[in-house]
């Protein structure tokens, strides 16, 4: 068994949260290693979905720091739109997923972050609540990697759970989880025809009831850079009646970029998948890939503008919305999220919509395919306590596994929030390792000052933290 040593901080998972956490820890001065099971950084951030919640519903920035730097760099290269307000999501921004992957690698290399790709966490070596080392598997066999502090950005809280952390799973009471999806991209789309159809059929364009304005609303959306479009329920009902559509979803959405004929498609959905069960994950991969084929056939046959579309890319893995919620010293609630609450120990902010996809039911849900979505008018603070698992001394969690309820996690799992919690977690881990103290022993004022200096949005513009 090989020993890989010499690191202050080890980040496990190089997805949306982990890539940012690794860069943050390295920039803060810690010798940092990032372990990632694939060969790129960014995770689901690189699937091409428009970013929602960079600003809150009142237009005040919620994402700063390394995440904002990433976006600015992409925008300079034509790979991201400006952030605009959106009646359903609060704010929205289009992005180029291929450029994003490469820009993250560039930023990681510049930060001094050490990368270990194609390596998979299999175990931790933990004593009295302190993780001494992790064990990973790769082409060289098994490796043991010690460090002073670890950041769990696995999405499922794998590192924390393997180390004995307590957690909840899915929805309170029944442990049901949000469904999984596979986001894919198609090219050859004639968006002029698609917009013309929506202008002629505004009832097939999904907007909040108070925003319905017929063709005038659609015309405004059409001019918006990076717009997110959802609807087409009438076309789905027509296809379902003809036997051409079996996907358990009653609408679909797409995300275009200005001047391009490629769009990102969100149409697939599989219920009852536990993302920590390999058999469930395998079933989800098979079913969503078959749904991509079915969805593409539906687009070609029924949706104006998509008649000649073709598949450009499919995801590196199925997208899992929810599994474990690590139990921290504070559990973020839906009331905190919707109320724009501030906390004395906040280290990040969130404004991604409260986006809860129906979980279905073990015996079959009466309703499938729906989504309860509420925009966040005022961004909320994310307490440092939600990143610190109870019972573990040297582990910080970021991304969708932070300490939150089922409903609150429906916002905290959003990509801009994951980037912000990743930045906070990486900085906290680095400071703890360099000072030789547990992360929870850090002076929160010093942490917040460091984060502000790194550009992180800690307080909402014009507000002060409250108890």
Can you state the angle between helices 191-200 and 215-222, rounded to 10 degrees? 160
State the average pLDDT over residues 101-106.
96
Can you state the angle between helices 415-435 and 444-453, rounded to 10 degrees? 120
Q: Which residues pair with 265 in a beta bridge?
A: 184, 254
| pLDDT of 367 strictly over 70 | no
Model pLDDT, residue 370:
62
Who has greater pLDDT, 230 or 216? 230
* Cα torsion angle, 316, 320, 326, 330, sign: positive
Residue pointed to by tokens 């573990």:
392
Q: Which residues pair with 131 in a beta bridge?
A: 126
Per-residue pLDDT tens digits for 385-395: 999 999 999 99
The structural domains of the chain, ordered by start, are: 2-175+322-453 (3.50.50.60), 184-313 (no CATH)
Per-residue pLDDT tens digits for 218-228: 888 888 887 88
State the average pLDDT over residues 6-20.
98
Model pLDDT, residue 215:
58
**Average pLDDT of every residue of the chain:** 93
- The two structure tokens encoding residue 47: 């699937």
Per-residue pLDDT tens digits for 137-170: 999 999 999 999 999 999 999 999 999 999 999 9
User: Is 351:53 a contact under the CB 8 Å cutoff?
Assistant: yes
Per-residue pLDDT tens digits for 176-210: 999 999 999 999 999 999 999 999 998 898 765 55
- The two structure tokens encoding residue 155: 């999405």
- The two structure tokens encoding residue 166: 């307590």
SS (H, E, C) 51-101: EECCECCCCCECCCHHHHHHHHHHHHCCCECCCEEECCCEEEECECHHHHH
């Amino acid at each position: 068994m090989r020993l890989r040593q010499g690191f202050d901080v080890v980040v496990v998972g190089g997805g949306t949260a982990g890539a940012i956490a690794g860069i943050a820890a390295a920039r803060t001065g810690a010798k940092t290693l990032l372990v990632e099971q694939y060969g790129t950084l960014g995770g689901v951030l690189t699937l091409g979905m428009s970013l929602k919640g960079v600003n809150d519903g009142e237009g005040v920035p919620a994402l700063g720091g390394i995440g904002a730097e990433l976006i600015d760099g992409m925008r300079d290269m034509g790979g991201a739109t400006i952030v605009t307000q959106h009646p359903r999501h609060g704010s929205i921004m289009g992005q180029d997923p291929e450029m994003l992957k490469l820009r993250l690698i560039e930023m990681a290399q510049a930060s001094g972050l050490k990368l270990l790709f194609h390596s998979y966490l299999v175990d931790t070596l933990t004593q009295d609540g302190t993780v001494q080392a992790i064990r990973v598997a790769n082409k060289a066999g098994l490796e043991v990697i010690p460090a002073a502090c670890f950041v769990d950005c696995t999405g499922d809280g794998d590192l924390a759970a393997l180390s004995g952390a307590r957690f909840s799973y899915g929805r309170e009471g029944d442990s049901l989880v949000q469904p999984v999806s596979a986001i894919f991209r198609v090219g050859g789309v004639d968006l002029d025809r698609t917009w013309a159809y929506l202008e002629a059929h505004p009832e097939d364009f999904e907007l909040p009831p108070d925003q319905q304005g017929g063709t005038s609303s659609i015309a405004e959306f059409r001019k918006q850079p990076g717009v997110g479009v959802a609807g087409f329920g009438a076309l789905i009902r027509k296809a379902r009646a003809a036997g051409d559509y079996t996907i358990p979803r009653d609408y679909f959405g797409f995300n275009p970029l200005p001047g391009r004929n490629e769009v990102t498609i969100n149409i697939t959905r599989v219920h009852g998948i536990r993302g920590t069960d390999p058999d469930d994950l395998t079933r989800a991969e098979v079913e969503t890939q078959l749904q991509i084929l079915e969805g593409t056939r539906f687009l070609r046959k029924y949706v104006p503008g998509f008649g000649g579309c073709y598949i450009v890319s499919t995801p590196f893995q199925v997208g899992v919305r929810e599994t474990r919620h690590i139990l921290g010293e504070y559990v973020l609630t839906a009331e905190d999220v919707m109320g724009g609450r501030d906390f004395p120990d906040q280290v990040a902010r969130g404004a991604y919509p409260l986006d809860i996809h129906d979980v279905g039911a073990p015996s079959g849900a009466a309703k499938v395919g729906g989504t309860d979505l509420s925009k966040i008018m005022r961004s909320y603070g994310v307490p440092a306590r939600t990143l610190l698992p109870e019972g573990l001394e040297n582990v910080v969690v970021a991304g969708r596994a932070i300490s939150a309820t089922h409903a609150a996690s429906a916002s905290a799992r959003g990509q801009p929030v994951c980037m912000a919690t990743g930045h906070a977690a990486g900085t906290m881990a680095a400071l703890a390792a360099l000072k030789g103290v547990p992360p929870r022993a850090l002076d929160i004022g010093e942490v917040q000052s460091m984060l502000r200096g790194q550009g992180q949005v800690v307080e909402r513009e014009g507000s002060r933290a409250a108890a």
